[in-house]
Amino acid sequence: MGVAVASSPLTDLENFLRYELESRPLAEPHFSAAYRRAGGVLPEDWGRLRRIVGLTSTCASLANNELSAVVTGELVELVQATAEDRDPRL
């Protein structure tokens, strides 16, 4: 059974690019260029905005009591990096 969620396209972008580092990009700028060629519209500061939008799902994941210490630390680092507007140290 699938799940449907009504949300910003930035949510999908964040899910795909969550571990993308500005200092060592793998998918960018190719991903956003393809998205635009396909008709997608991105706000000027979409990279920062997608990380902020992603905080909701990242914080929700932290509520899972069955996460390993490694995963919990990774998620906390993602939250801190977003709050400090920097690349995560992963």
Q: What is the pLDDT of residues 1-53, one digit of tens each?
A: 666 667 788 888 888 898 888 899 999 999 999 999 999 999 999 989 999 99
Q: How many domains does the chain have?
A: 1
> Residue 79: what pLDDT?
95
Do the domain assignments include residue 89? no
The crossing angle, in degrees rounded to 10, of helices 9-17 and 46-62 is 80
User: Mean of the pLDDT values across residues 70-86?
Assistant: 95
3 within domain boundaries: no
Asked whether residue 41 is assigned to any structural domain, the reply reads yes
Residue 86 scores a pLDDT above 70: yes
Query: What count of Cα atoms within 13 Å lies in the side-chain half-sphere of residue 67?
Result: 16
Asked if residue 4 is part of any domain, the answer here is no
- Encoded tokens for 59: 């914080």
pLDDT value of position 4: 63
Is the CB of residue 54 less than 8 Å from the CB of residue 15?
A: yes
Q: Is the pTM of this model over 0.85?
A: no
Place of tokens 């210490």: 69
73 is a domain residue: yes
Could you tell me if residue 17 is inside a domain? yes
Range 60-67 average pLDDT: 92
